[in-house]
Structure 1
Amino acid sequence: MTMPNPNFDAEALYRTLADRVKSGLANAEHAAIVGIYSGGAWLAERLAAEMQLTDRLGFIDVSFYRDDYAERGLHAEVKPTQIPFEVEGATILLVDDVLYTGRTTRAAINELFDYGRPAKIMLAALVDRGGRELPIAADFIADTATLSDDQQLVLHRADDGRFSLTVDHA
């Protein structure tokens, strides 16, 4: 059983991330937010509500776009991608919970381009745990963490919408 990690106050990290995103997108034209299922989607929902961008909120499931799809297979819950706004020329804030190898981000960018060519894509992540396999960096992060290869940082959302983080062993 995993317990919330006291070293990672997910609500405090969210506040830090939200402040950085709001400041960074203050002058962005045609801003939109796209969350990567599932943790990134939860963060994106809350960010969009706070920034009054709920009409420019989308969600991506990158399952079919990952380069390791054949090895990993499909998750039990593949969710439909929903991009209800014009991607062409938009400033897209792509949101994920944990940035690690960069493969999920690459897959999400590939999928976004199937919907049009954004003017700019920016990346926000609650936690950057390093270990990049691709040259991808977040524009906005709340914190960094070092974990061993057999650990993963998992975001949870309670029924009341509050976030918590656990360190799970693979």
Structure 2
Amino acid sequence: MTLPDMNQVCEQLAQQLKSYLSDRNISAPVMVGIRTGGVWVAEHLHKRLELTDPLGSVDISFYRDDFTRSGLHPQAASSDLPDSIEGRDVILVDDVIMSGRTVRAAMNELFDYGRPASVTLVALVDIGRRELPLQPDLCGLVLDLEPGQLVKLSGPDPLELTLL
């Protein structure tokens, strides 16, 4: 399977997001990337959309539902969000959405910072093996992988997707 250039996918995703925000009259969203790959994708989108608020990031290490079994990831870092997202429109960006568990953990953390007016979920890649009923509002690429096959995003510049 030949994968498209991820910079082109980000460009198309940015255009979709711009239209999506315009259609919903969202003019000053806060963009938040899920560490690590989601932050890389969010950086690309943030630049293309020329958003004025700083880019935020969440590290979901403490919010994972398998935390008690797997422990703390050795590269856990603190989240970097505005003091409050209360009443704000949030764009939550992930690199690859699969089971939905990462997104659930990120939303739990977001709500610790306040109750947003809305959350728009954007994913670079959707491989659709959901365990939770969470779907991206916008997605750059949908992949139908073979059983056991995974994808890996490397970056941040350039963004490259590899099938494993």
- Higher mean C-alpha displacement, 144-153 vs 27-36: 144-153
CA RMSD of aligned residues (A): 1.7
C-alpha deviations, 1:6-26, integer Å up to 9, x for none? 324212221221111111123
1:58 counterpart = 2:39: no
Identity %: 44
C-alpha deviations, 1:11-69, integer Å up to 9, x for none? 22212211111111232044110000111001111211222225242000011101111
Change (3 A) 1:89 1:30: farther
Aligned residues: 162
* TM-score relative to the length of structure 2: 0.91
Residue ranges of structure 1 left out of the alignment (5+ in a row): none
* TM-score relative to the length of structure 1: 0.88
Q: Separation in 2 of the partners of 1:56 and 1:89?
A: 17
Residue ranges of structure 2 left out of the alignment (5+ in a row): none
- Higher mean C-alpha displacement, 43-52 vs 117-126: 43-52
Aligned to 1:21: 17
Deviation at 1:149, TM superposition (A): 4.4
Runs of 4+ that moved beyond 3 A: none
Deviation at 1:115, TM superposition (A): 0.2
Q: Report the secondary structure of 2:62's partner residue.
A: helix
Aligned to 2:77: 79
Q: Is the 8 A contact 2:3 2:161 kept in 1?
A: no
Change (3 A) 1:54 1:36: farther
Deviation at 1:138, TM superposition (A): 0.4
Q: 2:161 aligns with which of 150, 165, 170?
A: 165
Q: Is the 8 A contact 1:100 1:132 kept in 2?
A: yes
